[in-house]
Chains A and B, each alone.
Chain A
Amino acid sequence: MEEEAVDVSKGVDVSKGEAAKGEATLPGPREAGAGAAESPGEPLLVVEKLVKHFPVKGGFPIRRTVGAVQAVDGIDLTVHVGESFGLVGESGCGKSTTGRLITRLLEPTSGSISYRGRDIAHASRKQLAPIRSEIQMIFQDPYSSLNPRQTVGKIISGPMEINGIDPTGGREKRVRELLEIVGLNPEHYNRFPHEFSGGQRQRIGVARALALEPKLIVADEPVSALDVSIQAQVVNLLQQVQKDLGIAFLFIAHDLAIVRHFSQRVAVMYLGKIIEVGDRDSIYKRPRHPYTHALLSAVPEVTLDGGAEETGRERIRLAGDVPSPISPPSGCRFRTRCWKSQDKCATEEPPLVRLSGNRPHHLTACHFPEAPTTEAREEDIVLDPALTALEEGEG
């Protein structure tokens, strides 16, 4: 343990700041001018130091704000054109709040959200109007997110109506096309939501989100309310939409396997902070943050040789519960449940940086990170310098 800690602390990359900034851009054709924002790899949405605190009322005799639920507390993330970015974490980690901030369903307390270079965090309603149509949202509950008194046609054409968009051939034709895209019968134009099953309703929600040909869809737990056999249908639909239409996704979910399946890059949140972010394979195969390790090892998995016999996956059991976001622990927020926690963790907040042994763009916020797994470590030693050079050369 001691040895490991020393080893790891030595391993912290010196060029912290640089690495953190490097996160904002992924290797890609960067030389392109402003006009070429459509090309994949360009940052579409850049979130910096985003904060959302919900006031807590109390006091006597006059009620006033006495504290804040620090739902989101200074996160940075970048979603590139056409990319699918996964945001995972347990309930209360701030992932849904982040989604709502980006779609401006909530007002951020501070920080910036820039969409294609334009700050939308503090834009007025009027300034937002042209951007609103490019960022759409899919909600968790397919029952409460569709107005039961409107027909499917009305629901899906709603966004077009609000934004005054008249597609060639008329709105109805467009709605029928959309119904077809999401795998519903165009003849169902005049039906009401209650005539559909949960999975079909979620398809209606997807069609509504697609109506304005958005560039970015924020999908907040889009399949968690659905039955297992239906989840796969909706995940496939979203994936197909993402590929065919080149729409970027911010995919928010608690199911690690589904996020892995859907996302190219993944960020893990804990108590309002991003504690680890990187390419999917990097996060899932070489997690460095103890929390990511614990999260991955807690997922119960079917193994095909019968049951859950240990498959070499080490099991980490976190003790206790997530602390209150009203008074989160000082320093590293995970330290109260972390088996590696030391004094430093309480006094100093670990920065989100690229650690040595991490692949490029894999950032971890931990003072005493886990060593890369054995297989990964070998791979890292042998492959990583070359791989890094290759990837950075491309960039």
Chain B
Amino acid sequence: MLRFLVRRTLGAVVILFLLSVVTFLLFFGMPRDPALLICGKTCTPANIENIHHVLGLDKSIPEQYLTFLHNIVLGSDSFDQGPCPAPCFGYSYHTNEAVWPTLMDRLPTTVSLTLGAAVVFLVAGLATGLLAAWKRGSLIDKTVTAGSMVISSMQIYFLGPLALALLVYQSHLFEKPAYHNLTSDPVSWFSGLLIPWVVLSTIFAAQYTRMARSSMIEQLQEEHVRTARAKGMSRRYVFFRYAWRGSLIPVVTIFGIDLGSLLGGAIITETTFGLPGIGQLAVQSVFFSDLPLLLGVMLFAATMILLFNIIVDTCYAFIDPRVRLS
């Protein structure tokens, strides 16, 4: 198991390295000169040259990349804005703030939004999915199936504004979405995130319901489940001990992917509700061609996805001894 984790982590580091090379080349090899963006309207060739020198853009691309990598691993003191401890992604072209602290600033919002919603959609999705599978063919099953189909075909940019309009602006039942610090003001933290949670988890829960139901029904048709019934184990026991375990594999897989990509930035949700998370940061960085920030966000998101990939694989080993013992 430990060997497995070490091997996977080493693999992830290699992937991140390759990814950083590719993204770096893509952005810094672009024909558009970032110096033009920074120096604005009153630009002279001397200004541009100065900016080039300050940003290190006058060096060759491999040199620039090595500096970039060096800064991430060891930090840097060569920035005009001040010292930049590792992991240093440099300073934003747009706001002139250090990239990594900005990311860390935004992280609590994204984590609160994602984890809060994830707990809800996982529990609600699994519960309704299992219920439908247990009552397969009944009215409950049919209602759940139809309902989840309708909901999962909706999008956040539809359901989000709808919820805002109905529940916040018209009826004033809920607070306007906003992020408050969890430790200093837990009540506002909760009420400010309630609507985004509800909207995000409704859509995801519907997908998890469908997935849990279908994978459960598939498992219930497995021969070993029939064997368990044939030796006299009760339907409930067989359902939860034999069938459920196997049905978790696809659910865990998708959950890992969802969680990883949401933590890397729930772009649409954060934009819809105006929450200052990493997703919103990603949008801004693209909008302003803010290369250091963009690189930082991208590598952060990739790290999240790789991390959850490893977590998912670890979960497989816990669920299935065939994985554990091979």
Contact = CB atoms under 8 A, between A and B. Distances in A.
- Do the two chains touch directly in the complex (Cβ atoms below 8 Å apart)? yes
Interface of A: 60-63
A206 to B, nearest CB: 32
Interface in B1-42: 3, 6-7, 10
Contacts of B7: 60-63
Nearest to B6: A61
Interface of B: 3, 6-7, 10
Contacts of A63: 7
Contacts of A62: 7
Contacts of A60: 3, 6-7
B67 to A, nearest CB: 29
Contacts, number: 9
Contacts of B6: 60-61
A61 B7 CA distance: 6
B6 to A, nearest CB: 6
B168 to A, nearest CB: 52
A95 to B, nearest CB: 26
A205 to B, nearest CB: 28
A62 B6 CA distance: 10
Contacts of A61: 3, 6-7, 10
B7 to A, nearest CB: 5
- The 8 closest A-B CB pairs, nearest first, are A60-B3, A61-B7, A61-B10, A61-B6, A60-B7, A61-B3, A63-B7, A60-B6
9 contacts: A60-B3, A60-B6, A60-B7, A61-B3, A61-B6, A61-B7, A61-B10, A62-B7, A63-B7
A62 B3 CA distance: 10
A58 to B, nearest CB: 10
B11 to A, nearest CB: 9
Contacts of B3: 60-61
Contacts of B10: 61
A63 B10 CA distance: 12
A62 B7 CA distance: 7
A60 B3 CA distance: 7
Given A61-B7, A62-B7, 7 more contacts: A60-B3, A60-B6, A60-B7, A61-B3, A61-B6, A61-B10, A63-B7
B175 to A, nearest CB: 51
Nearest to A61: B7
A372 to B, nearest CB: 45
Nearest to B3: A60
B8 to A, nearest CB: 10
A62 to B, nearest CB: 8
B210 to A, nearest CB: 26
B269 to A, nearest CB: 39
A169 B154 CA distance: 58
A65 to B, nearest CB: 16
A1 B230 CA distance: 48
Nearest to B4: A60
A130 to B, nearest CB: 43
Nearest to A63: B7
A62 B10 CA distance: 9
A61 B5 CA distance: 10
A63 B3 CA distance: 11
A63 B6 CA distance: 12
A60 to B, nearest CB: 5
A66 to B, nearest CB: 13
A303 to B, nearest CB: 34
A314 to B, nearest CB: 37
A63 B8 CA distance: 11
A61 B10 CA distance: 9
B4 to A, nearest CB: 9
A60 B7 CA distance: 8
A118 B203 CA distance: 64
B43 to A, nearest CB: 51
A48 B29 CA distance: 57
A63 B7 CA distance: 9
B310 to A, nearest CB: 15
A193 B223 CA distance: 27
